[in-house]
Amino acid sequence: MRVLFWVNSFPVVSETFIRNQIVDLIKEGIEVQIFCTLKNKHNQAIEGFEEYDLLNKTLDFSDILPKTKIRKIKYALRILADSLFTENFKYYTNFIRLLIKEKKYTFSSIFILHYILKTKIDIVHCHFGPVGNKAVFLKKIQLPIKLICTFHGYDIRLGIQKRNFYKDLLKYADSVISISNYNTKMLLSFGFKQEKIKELNNGVEVISGVGKRNNRDRQINILSVGRLVDEKGYDLALNSISNFHKKNSEICFHYDIIGGGILEEKLKNLCNDLKLDKIVTFHLSQNSEYVKSKMREADLFLLTSRNEAIPTVILEAQSYSLPVIATNVGAVKDLVINDFTGFLCDITEKDIEKCLKKMFDNRDRWDMYGLNASKNIILNYNRIALVQKLISIYKTI
């Protein structure tokens, strides 16, 4: 079985769930190739980069597109000539007809088609709805591949904002994968048929040996991980931390933020204005090993997002038996249960501060929260079990 993962960019620090899926499939003997719009030259997002030969398995348009317009035309003509007396010729001619009929497709896509035919791909697995939209042309030209698309977060929001945004995907996808109950509900509202929707959680590694955290008589480490963008709500986090610190100055804690993004300068200025520079550290973008080390050092995880589907970072935190405070967005309520795995809060500074106080008032229950969360990860989000479910989906569509 040959699977092509089609993604926007690869590798991406904030999309470890895609990397995990690829690595786990390779471990199971599945042949995986990766096509992306943009190949990320910073390979810090990939563990075992050399071990799984992911560099040689990844290509973008620069790898398959001739550099000039003349060379593109010559190469395309050679592809057509070489396929003239083969079964593949009809797919190229179908593509040219589609190109004439539907202006939204570009001539460059013929080189993607050529790559898929040359490597004999069986399944094209897209991550994020807009990528699935791009890949639909493969089904329109009757290419005998299976098309799957996994929906995550921003793509769900696009579907809510733009009516009929996925109308082609509705018709041509062989299956769509939902990572949460919330996503399933939204996909149904977009018009996807129930029988096409397969539920598959994002999987994370089950972490052993974390143990109890002796957090009574030392500094408490609070951790957030995520891009420095508006939807992650770090302004809410910093203002809430500031208000909490002013009212509870006797509590010794430090707040670590891992992630880079366009709001870096703005958030650092806010931190300085709030006089939090001694208790807040911006670690910026880091590799997964660094994040893991900070997870082990942390006592408490904080997520203050304005929008999410089901944040993989919460799954990762809970795999380290961390209690979690999180805003009640998307499917977060499936993971963070009040006074069981942590506390849910509204998307307001006041409520986040209130949950911080509630969490510290229940410090003696943190180990229990972490244990409950860890059990849920083992039962429902173990990546080793979930890759078997994904392979089963591949085989049955």
Same domain, 228 and 331: yes
158 and 11 within one domain:
yes
**Per-residue pLDDT tens digits for 285-314:** 998 889 999 999 999 999 999 999 889 999
- Structural domain includes residue 356: yes
370/387 Cα distance (integer angstroms): 25
Residues 161, 291 within the same domain = no
In this structure, are 191 and 42 located in the same domain? yes
168 and 300 fall within a common domain:
no
Domain that holds residue 61: 2-203+382-396
Specify if 253 maps to a domain: yes
List C-alpha distances in Å: 121 to 124, 125, 139, 170: 7, 10, 13, 22
Give the count of beta carbons closer than 10 Å to the beta carbon of residue 300. Answer: 25
Q: Verify that 189 and 60 share a domain, yes or no.
A: yes
- What share of the chain has pLDDT > 70, as a percent? 95
Q: Are 372 and 391 part of one and the same domain?
A: no
Residue 66: asked if its preceding bond is cis (omega within 30°), the reply is no
44-57 confidence digits (pLDDT tens) = 545 656 678 888 89
Q: Is residue 213 included in any domain, yes or no?
A: no
Tokens of 265: 């300068």
| 348 & 303 share domain | yes
Helix residue ranges per DSSP H, 191-323:
234-247, 264-273, 288-297, 312-319
C-beta pairs of 244-249 under 8 Å, 24+ apart in sequence: 244/353, 244/356, 244/357, 245/276, 245/279, 247/357, 248/357, 248/360
Residue 101 and residue 34 share a domain: yes
In a domain, 214, yes or no: no
Q: Structurally, how many domains does the chain consist of? A: 2
Segment 335-343 mean pLDDT = 96
Q: Distance between CA atoms of 245 and 64, rounded to whole angstroms?
A: 54
pTM for the full model? 0.89
CATH number, domain of 234, equals: 3.40.50.2000
Task: For residues 392 and 301, state if they share a domain.
Answer: no
Can you tell me the mean pLDDT for 354-364? 96
Q: What rounded mean pLDDT belongs to the chain? A: 93
In a domain, residue 211? The reply is no
The DSSP call for residue 60 is: -
Q: What is the DSSP letter of 368?
A: H
| Rounded Cα gap, residues 319 and 371, in angstroms | 9
The answer as to whether 212 is a domain residue is no
